[in-house]
């Protein structure tokens, strides 16, 4: 429980850092007009702190609608809420379940990303998450036998989704932890845009949606967190992009054996992914893609992630390795600046050629 609170406090600090980066820096020295004032909403949902900020006369109303959307989606997608659709699916004992449009769509998307990433992303990982205690914060190291037995119930191919009908074999359980926040951010962004908002920054527990640019037309400046400790390794300038980071510095535990076990699991082994990455940040047009890929690339590790990028190239990526190197794809090379105190980190550019 204590760890959970520390985690939340860290998230608040992270939110504060991000929002100060987004809103505090780069002031042109002009007096703020009313339209330049960010309206903000801060709330807790989907097990994380969210900070939504938007500019414009209609900002308050639009932000309220966006927050309501998040709570609605949380009600549908929570894995623990007995009234959620995911809970219903996980307790369906092999019977078909009819889904809302939101849930059918996110599952369709997640299964497609599971296929595309060769199963590095797998929404059926939940029984393994439970075995490691990540769902209750009572962490433990399961035995090899226990993991091997549970892996029989893991595999996105076992999910049968037909339109808005889903059927899971008994024992298979879904968890949208790896894509839900990014997907929810897309839907929240859509609501804001529908209400005429052209400049907003949504921080969904470290998953960032930048709508348009700052009111003065310049890029948002987003801090990339230092996965090894305090502070931010650098700043990424973006407009109209989702920026999503996965790493095992957020949720992890240290086992009796002294090893660190993170909350992103390699579905092919049932063990926490340990591929030499400290964090992966994906820069994509859509939050759902960023969220799915940040988790999947963390599982794949630097070499396979680079290969995946070469084969797709519809996103950019910044990887920080456990030994302190930064690997960045060429599309965002010029948008990223290392902070002075991290200036000695090795920076490598991944080019297509």
What angle separates helix 180-194 from helix 287-300, to the nearest 10 degrees? 160
What angle separates helix 101-116 from helix 287-300, to the nearest 10 degrees? 40
Q: Give whole-number Cα distances, 218 to 32, 161, 284, 287, in Å.
A: 15, 43, 18, 21
Q: Which is nearer to Mg ion, 131 or 293 (CB)?
A: 293
* Burial 33-54, CB ≥16 within 10 A → b, else e: eeebebbebeeebbbbbbbbbb
> What, of ligand ADP, Mg ion, none, does residue 335 touch, CB below 5 to 8 Å by kind?
none
Residues 199-218: x/- map of binding to ligand ADP (CB under 6 A)? Answer: -------x------------
Q: Which stretch binds Mg ion (CB under 5 A): 69-77, 109-117, 175-183, 197-205?
A: 175-183
Q: Which is nearer to ligand ADP, 123 or 212 (CB)?
A: 123
One residue of 78, 275, 295, 321 binding Mg ion per CB under 5 A: 295
Q: Which of residues 144-163 bind ligand ADP (CB under 6 A)?
A: none
Q: Which is nearer to ligand ADP, 47 or 67 (CB)?
A: 47
One residue of 19, 226, 237, 295 binding ligand ADP per CB under 6 A: 295
CB of 37 to ligand ADP, least distance (A): 30
127 lies in the site for ligand ADP, by CB under 6 A: no
Q: Give whole-number Cα distances, 59 to 24, 191, 194, 195, 325, in Å.
A: 18, 11, 12, 8, 40
DSSP string computed for 138-196: ------HHHHHHHHTT--GGG-EEETTEEE--TT-----TTTHHHHHHHHHHHHHHHTT
One residue of 48, 103, 294, 321 binding Mg ion per CB under 5 A: 294
Question: How many other C-beta atoms are found inside a 10 Å radius of the C-beta of residue 205?
Answer: 20
Residues 272-291: x/- map of binding to Mg ion (CB under 5 A)? Answer: -------------------x
Strand-pair partners of 272: 265
CB of 148 to ligand ADP, least distance (A): 17
Strand-pair partners of 167: 160
Binding site for ligand ADP (CB under 6 A): 121-123, 125, 129, 175, 177-178, 206, 246, 250-251, 263-265, 267, 291, 294-295, 299
């Amino acid at each position: 429980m204590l760890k959970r609170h520390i985690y939340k406090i860290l998230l608040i600090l992270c939110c504060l850092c991000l929002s100060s980066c987004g809103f505090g820096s780069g002031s042109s020295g002009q007096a703020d007009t009313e339209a330049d004032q960010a309206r903000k909403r801060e709330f807790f949902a989907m097990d994380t702190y969210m900070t939504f900020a938007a500019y414009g006369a209609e900002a308050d109303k639009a932000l309220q609608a966006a927050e309501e959307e998040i709570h609605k989606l949380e009600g549908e997608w929570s894995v623990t809420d007995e009234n959620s659709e995911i809970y219903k699916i996980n307790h369906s004992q092999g019977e078909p379940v009819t889904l809302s449009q939101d849930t059918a769509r996110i599952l369709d998307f997640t299964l497609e990303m599971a296929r595309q990433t060769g199963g590095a992303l797998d929404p059926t990982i939940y029984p393994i998450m439970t075995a490691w205690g990540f769902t209750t914060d009572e962490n433990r190291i399961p035995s090899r036998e226990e993991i091997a037995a549970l892996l029989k119930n893991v595999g996105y191919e076992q999910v049968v989704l037909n339109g808005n009908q889903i059927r899971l074999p008994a024992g298979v359980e879904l968890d949208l932890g790896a894509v839900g926040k990014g997907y929810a951010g897309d839907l929240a962004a859509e609501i804001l845009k529908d209400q005429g908002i052209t400049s907003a920054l949504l921080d969904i527990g470290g998953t960032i949606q930048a709508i348009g640019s700052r009111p003065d037309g310049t890029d948002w400046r987003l801090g990339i967190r230092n996965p090894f400790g305090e502070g931010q390794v650098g700043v990424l300038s973006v407009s109209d992009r989702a920026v999503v980071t996965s790493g095992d510095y957020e949720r992890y535990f240290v086992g009796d054996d002294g090893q660190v076990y993170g909350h992103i699991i390699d579905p092919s082994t049932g063990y926490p992914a340990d591929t030499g990455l400290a964090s992966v940040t994906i820069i994509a047009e859509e939050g759902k893609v960023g969220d799915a890929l940040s988790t999947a690339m963390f599982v794949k590790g630097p070499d396979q992630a680079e290969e995946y990028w070469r084969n797709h190239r519809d996103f950019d990526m910044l990887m920080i390795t456990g030994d302190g190197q930064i690997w960045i794809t060429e599309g965002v090379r010029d948008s990223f600046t290392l902070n002075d105190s991290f200036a000695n980190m090795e920076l490598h550019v991944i080019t297509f050629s």
